[in-house]
Amino acid sequence: MEQEDRYAVELIGINKTFPGGIQANKDITLRIREGEVHGLLGENGAGKSTIMNILYGFLSKDSGRIIIRGEEVEPKSPQDAIDRGVGMVHQHFKLIPPLTVTENVILGLEPISKKSDQSNSMALVSTSLILLFLSYFFLSQIDFLIVAAIYLLILAIILKPRPVTLLAIGNAWLFVMVTNYAGFALGEFLLALVSFELVLIIFYFLYNRFGDSPILIRLGNMLSGIGGDGFPVGIDEAAKKIQRIADENGLAVDPYAKVQDLSVGLQQRVEVIKTLYREADILILDEPTSVLTPQEVDELFVTLEAFRKSGKTIILITHKLREPMILCDRISVLRDGALVGTVNKDETSAEELAQMMVGRPVVFTVEKPPATLGEIVLNADNLRVEDHRGLLKVKGVSFQVRAGEILGIAGVEGNGQTELVEALAGLRKLVGGAISVGNINIMEKKPKGDSKKLDHIIDFLIFVFSFGFNIVFHLGFNALDAVSWVLSLIALACGLALVLWYGTLRHANIPRFVREAGVSHIPEDRHRRGLILPFTVEENLVLGRHYKPPFISRSGILALDTFGRVSSELVENYSIKTTGVDSLASTLSGGNQQKLVVAREMESSPILLIAAQPTRGLDVGATEFIHKTLISMRDKGVAILLVSAELDEIRSVTDRILVMFDGRIVGEKIPDETDAQELGLLMAGHVNREKQMEAIN
C-alpha cells in the first residue's frame, strides 16, 4: 500500500480555458504512481494533450496545483519540466528533417565538449585566411595550386572537417587562384570572393527546391559557428552517447542519418531518445501510435515495457483502446475536458472504456449490404512511380475500381502505397503507365531509355550560366564598361529564366486537373498535403472548390457568406471541435485537423475518393462515423480506394483487398474469405514463387 501511495506526478484541480471560451480542462485531478504506465484516454479534443502540455510547461494553467515527487512546482517552460526529469514526445514531432539524428537530439543543449566543432571551424577558417593572404602575394599560380591541394588533403585526412567546411575553403582557394591570375587588386579580390559565395548560395537555394537542401543548413550552421554563436556540442561525442542510449533501450537508429530519410517509426525513436538524452524518468507520450505501422507499434510496446521494468513512469495519451488494455496499469478517461474516472486495467474492458469516452455504447463492427458494382471509374495500368530519391517504389501496378465499390490496399508502410496514392492524385509524376478516371485520361507516361538526358543537359546549362554570370559580373565590375554590364545582365536573366523553367518542367503536376475529373483525396500526411495550417478552418474546408460556384459569383467575386454557411455545416456534421470557423487550423487538435480534411474531401461530391489512412488519429466515435460515411458513399455509387495500415479497418470496410509488398501487388483477397494472419503474411512478402513471378511479369 505504501508503494501505491508514492506518486511521481499529481495534478490537482487543473483548469484551462483558451481564447474563444473553450474550456479544455475542467477541474481535473490526476495522480500518477511512480513506475507505472498510466493511460490517458479520451476523444479528439477531450483535453488530454492540454493537461500534459501544462505539466510539461508548454502551456500555463488557469488554476490548480502541480506536484512532482512531492514538491509543488510551477513549470514556466519545457526546460523547467526537463530539469525535473519530465520529458514529452509530442504527437507532431519536433524535428528538423534536413538535420541528422544527432543534430536534432542536441539542439538547445549547453556545451559538453571542450574541443567543440566551433573551435575546429575557427581554426580551419583562420588558418585558411592566413595561407590565402600569404599565397596571394608570394606564390605563383602553379605553387599556389600545389599548396592548396596539399592543404585540403591534410584537412581531409587528419582533421576530418565537415564536407561543407572543405567545400567553402576549397571554393575560396580556387577563386583566389582565378583572381590572382586576372591581376585583381586585393580589395577587388575580397569583393569578388564575397560575390562568388553569395551567387553560389543563391544558386543552391534555387536548385534545391527553394531551401530544402541540407548543405544550405549546414553552411548556415558553419557560418554561425564562425560568427561566435558556435556549435555548442561536440557532434562525435554526442553521437556516441546517443548510440549508447539507443543500444541500451532497444531504439536502434543511426546517429548520423538525416531525419528526412527515416521512416515515421524511426523518427519517433529519435523523439524518445531526445527525452532519454536529457535524463528524463517521467515520460509523456502523446498519441505515440497514431502514425505507426502495426509492426512499429509492437516494437514501441517492447520499448515501453523495458522502460517500465527500469522504473520509469510513463503517461500514455491515446484515443485507441488496444494500447492501454495491453500496456497500462491504470487508465484515466477524459470527456469534454473533464475527468470521467480512473480504472484498473484488469477491472475494465474495451467496451466500457469506449462508453466512458463517448458517453454512449459504441458499435465496433461495420454493417454493410452487398456492393452493387457499376462501371469502371478508376483504371490504373502498369504504373511505375519513383520516390523523391529517384528509386522505383511502384513497380508495374495495375488495378481497377468500380462505382459502388470500396477497394482496399493493405501493406506495411514504405512498400509503395504513398507513391501510388500521390501519383493517382496528380502529386507525383509517373515513370511509366497510365491513369484514367471515367473516360478521362488523367496521366500517361511511356518509359524511354533517354528520359533523363534532358535533366542532365539542363543541369549542365544551369551550371554554365551561373558560372558565366559570375565571371562576366566580375569582369564588368573591373572594367566598368557598358558592354560588360549588358552581358552580365543578359547572363543573369538567362540563368534565372532557365532555373525557373527547369523547376516548372521537372516538378509539374496536375492535381487540379485530377480534382476536376471528380477525384477527392484524403492524404496520409494531413500537415504536408491536406491543410494550410495558417489558414482558417473555413478557408481549409472550401479549398479545392473555392474557385467554382456556389463559392464564387458570376462576376468572379468570392461568396464569403457561402464559405461561412457551408463550413459551419461541415463543422457541425463532422463534430469538429473549434472555437469557430474563423479559428486557425493550426489551433485544432490532431484528431480535429484530420476531421477537417475528411469533411472537405468527402463532401466534395466525388465520383472517386482516394482515402489514405482516413481514420489515422481519430477516436473510436469518429472512426465509427467515418466508416459509416464510407459505406454510405459506396452505396450511392462512389468508387472508393482505401489505403490503410489497420487490418481491422481494411477487412471490415472494403469489398476487395489488394496487398502491396515491395512496390507490387502480391495478392487479392475477399474480406470474408481471409483473415489477419493470411493478410499479414502477404504484407511481409510471404507469397509463393509462382504468384511472385506472375506479379513481376
* Residues 434 and 383 occupy one common structural domain: yes
Q: Provide the residue type at 274 as one letter.
A: K
Say what the pLDDT of residue 216 is.
42
Say what the pLDDT of residue 492 is.
60
**Residues facing residue 383 across a β-bridge:** 397
Helix (H, G, I), strand (E, B) or coil at 81: helix
Decide if 97 is inside a domain. Answer: no
Say what the pLDDT of residue 252 is.
85
Q: What are phi and psi of 134, to 5 degrees?
A: -65, -45
Q: Judge whether residue 416 has pLDDT over 60.
A: yes
Separation of alpha carbons 303 and 294, rounded Å? 14
* Residues 527 and 600 occupy one common structural domain: yes
Whole-model pTM over 0.85: no
* Residues 671 and 615 occupy one common structural domain: yes
> Torsion angle of alpha carbons 525, 528, 530, 535, nearest 10°?
140
> Between vectors from CA 503 to CA 502 and to CA 506, what angle results, nearest 5°?
80
Separation of alpha carbons 668 and 695, rounded Å? 11
Task: Tally the domains of the chain.
Answer: 5
Decide if 1 is inside a domain. Answer: no
Say what the pLDDT of residue 647 is.
84
**Residue written as grid cell 561566435:** 228
* Residues 133 and 46 occupy one common structural domain: no
Separation of alpha carbons 411 and 421, rounded Å? 13
* Residues 617 and 668 occupy one common structural domain: yes
* Residues 158 and 126 occupy one common structural domain: yes
| C-alpha cell of residue 73 | 512546482
* Residues 181 and 158 occupy one common structural domain: yes
Share of the chain above pLDDT 70, in %: 69
Q: How far apart are the first and last CA of the chain?
A: 66
pLDDT tier at 203, thresholds 50, 70, 90? very low
Say what the pLDDT of residue 66 is.
96
**Among residues 306, 337, 358, which one ends one of the domains?**
358
Q: Specify the higher pLDDT residue, 537 or 262.
A: 537
pLDDT tens digits for 46-88? Answer: 899 899 999 999 999 999 999 999 999 999 989 899 999 999 9
Q: Judge whether residue 548 has pLDDT over 70.
A: yes
Say what the pLDDT of residue 398 is.
96
Structural domain for 404, as ranges: 364-438+608-696
| C-alpha cell of residue 121 | 571551424
Average pLDDT of the residues of the chain: 77
pLDDT tens digits for 446-460? Answer: 444 444 444 445 445
Return the top range by mean pLDDT from 106-110, 150-154, 366-370, 427-431.
Answer: 427-431
Decide if 94 is inside a domain. Answer: no
Decide if 63 is inside a domain. Answer: yes
pLDDT tens digits for 598-607? Answer: 999 999 999 9
Q: Specify the higher pLDDT residue, 239 or 129.
A: 239
The enclosing domain of 395 has a CATH number of 3.40.50.300
Say what the pLDDT of residue 171 is.
53
Q: Specify the higher pLDDT residue, 187 or 407.
A: 407
Separation of alpha carbons 323 and 290, rounded Å? 11
Q: Judge whether residue 28 has pLDDT over 70.
A: yes
Q: How many C-beta neighbours within 10 Å does residue 124 have?
A: 20
Decide if 372 is inside a domain. Answer: yes
Q: Judge whether residue 43 has pLDDT over 90.
A: no
Decide if 92 is inside a domain. Answer: no
pLDDT tens digits for 342-400? Answer: 999 999 998 899 889 988 887 667 788 899 999 999 999 999 999 877 889 999 999 99
**Among residues 315, 338, 358, which one ends one of the domains?**
358
Helix (H) / strand (E) element for 28: namely: strand 23-33
* Residues 419 and 504 occupy one common structural domain: no
> Between vectors from CA 589 to CA 588 and to CA 594, what angle results, nearest 5°?
90
pLDDT tier at 237, thresholds 50, 70, 90? confident
Query: Where is average pLDDT lowest: 13-17, 233-237, 440-444, 510-514?
Result: 233-237
Say what the pLDDT of residue 132 is.
55
Return the top range by mean pLDDT from 33-37, 304-308, 646-650.
Answer: 33-37
DSSP state, residue 641: E
* Residues 600 and 612 occupy one common structural domain: no
DSSP letter string over 94-131? Answer: ---TTSBHHHHHHTTPPP--SS-HHHHHHHHHHHHHHH
Q: How many helices and strands (H and E) does the chain possess? A: 24, 20
* Residues 213 and 130 occupy one common structural domain: yes
* Residues 588 and 662 occupy one common structural domain: no
* Residues 571 and 628 occupy one common structural domain: no
Q: What are phi and psi of 488, to 5 degrees?
A: -65, -40
**Residues facing residue 88 across a β-bridge:** 284
Say what the pLDDT of residue 433 is.
93
**Among residues 195, 225, 255, which one ends one of the domains?**
225
Average pLDDT over residues 639-646: 92
Average pLDDT over residues 616-625: 82
Decide if 252 is inside a domain. Answer: no
CB 662 within 8 A of CB 685: yes
**Residues facing residue 28 across a β-bridge:** 14
CB 635 within 8 A of CB 612: no
Helix (H) / strand (E) element for 475: namely: helix 453-479
| C-alpha cell of residue 686 | 510471404
For the range 460-464, what are the long-range contacts, defined as Cβ-Cβ under 8 Å and sequence gap of 24 or more?
461/498, 462/203, 462/207, 462/495, 462/498, 462/499, 462/502
Say what the pLDDT of residue 153 is.
57
Measured in whole angstroms, the distance separating CA 557 from the mean position of its chain's CA atoms is 35
Say what the pLDDT of residue 99 is.
85
**Residue written as grid cell 537508429:** 253
